[in-house]
Copies of this chain bind each other. A is one copy, B any other.
Amino acid sequence: MPDDAKPMQRFTRDQIEEFMARCFAACGMPDGDAATVASLMAEADMLGKDSHGIFRLPGYIGRLKAGGFNPTPNIRIERDMAATALVDGDNGMGHLVVKTAADAAIEKAKTAGVGWVGLHHSNHAGAASVYSNMAMAHDMIGLYVAVGSANHLPPWGGTDMMLSTNPIAVSVPGDEEDAIILDMATTVTSYGKVKVYAQRGIEMPEGWMINRDGTPLTDASKSDTGFLLPIGGPKGYGLALIFGILAGTLNGATFGTNVVDMNADATSVTNTGQFYLAINISAFMDPAAFKTEVDAVIRQMRSSATMEGVDRVRLPGESSHAAYRERKTDGVPLPDPLLENLAKVADDLGVDRLD
């Protein structure tokens, strides 16, 4: 993404986290839950997921105020087996619900080898890799899949938008090397990135979206008139379909035309579906040996000769690790239009502005 002409203001993680926590608390969320959601959102900003951190706060607050989220959910396990659970999120913020699922899946994987927890009546939970990363502290591989919160993708060959970008994130720990973190939509780009381009007035490259007549759509502000393109054509459609069934249908959550577009409808219960899979490395090999092997894989990929014009081979997650280091030192850069929105949110809620 090109730099804006003027350098952006920067804020520490603590600043943005505390600001978000007081906004959520002002909407009736218990202090602990407000802090948890704020921390998970700030983590997205630290990881460079600009379209899934504090950028989402105005939308979330609007939805809380409109009654679209339950500020005091009773998140509970409905079905339970040795390695699985089905969790009812009671329409709480997705961050809380998915964290509950991640914690439960990790606990199950400790004794069962893997843990798979499905969710219904959850909500948009922000950056997928924030959750997949959680398993790594337990010497596990984390995997998270969500039904996207709005449909921007037709089935391959079709023109009716029945599918979302249905993202997947997988986190694999290395030893000396940074973890491999794959965090991707099943579309060439995510709708979140399109929204950032729209907000910043940047033109999108061809190949991200097409108009309903099949021509390229590059004006991000007109994204609602076209649709995203799946990776690999029918393959990306197939992945979006399968992920939607596993994260949505299987859990009794919405998928397909009954998905509620949370950006267009602030009050209806979305019944968002997600699932979390934790894989206990020690069920298959010694975790230390595994991490050493992952280091070797990473170094091997990096050692590849490169195509003309490519300086070096990259690993999934590199940009997130780089963002994390830079933002830990220099803070999180936030663009002026977002800061204006955040100031308005603070004033509306009667809480201190971000500073």
Contacts and interface: CB of A to CB of B under 8 A. Distances in A.
Interface of A: 79, 81-86, 108, 111-116, 118, 141, 154-160, 162, 170, 172, 180, 182, 184, 188, 213-214, 231-232, 234-239, 241-242, 244-246, 249-252, 255-257, 279-281, 283-285, 290, 293-294, 296-297, 300-301, 303-308, 310, 312-316
A256 B79 CA distance: 40
A257 B297 CA distance: 9
Contacts of A315: 241
A184 B113 contact: no
A273 to B, nearest CB: 10
Contacts of A160: 303-305
B283 A235 contact: no
A112 B141 contact: no
B112 A297 contact: no
Given A283-B79, A305-B160, A241 B111 contact: no
A280 B80 CA distance: 12
A276 to B, nearest CB: 12
A188 to B, nearest CB: 6
Given A86-B284, A188-B235, A231-B235, 4 more contacts: A83-B108, A84-B284, A141-B250, A159-B307
B232 A236 contact: yes
A191 to B, nearest CB: 15
A265 to B, nearest CB: 20
Contact of A316 (B116, B182, B188, B241): B241
A113 B242 contact: no
A294 B157 contact: no
Contact of A172 (B245, B290, B297, B307): B245
A313 B238 contact: no
A241 B180 contact: yes
Given A84-B284, A155-B304, A284-B84, A238 B112 contact: no
A188 B232 CA distance: 6
A290 B250 contact: yes
10 contacts: A81-B111, A81-B280, A83-B108, A157-B314, A162-B304, A172-B242, A231-B232, A232-B236, A241-B297, A251-B285
Given A241-B180, A301-B241, A307-B214, A283 B158 contact: no
B301 A158 contact: yes
A241 B232 CA distance: 17
Contact of A238 (B82, B156, B316): B316
Contacts of A293: 249
Contacts of A252: 284-285
A280 to B, nearest CB: 7
A108 B116 CA distance: 13
B158 A284 contact: no
Given A116-B113, A249-B293, A304-B159, A83 B86 contact: no
A303 B114 CA distance: 37
Q: List the 3 closest A-B pairs by CB distance, nearest first.
A: A231-B232, A84-B113, A158-B304
B231 A283 contact: no
A349 B255 CA distance: 54
B250 A116 contact: no
B242 A180 contact: yes
Contacts of A116: 113-114, 279
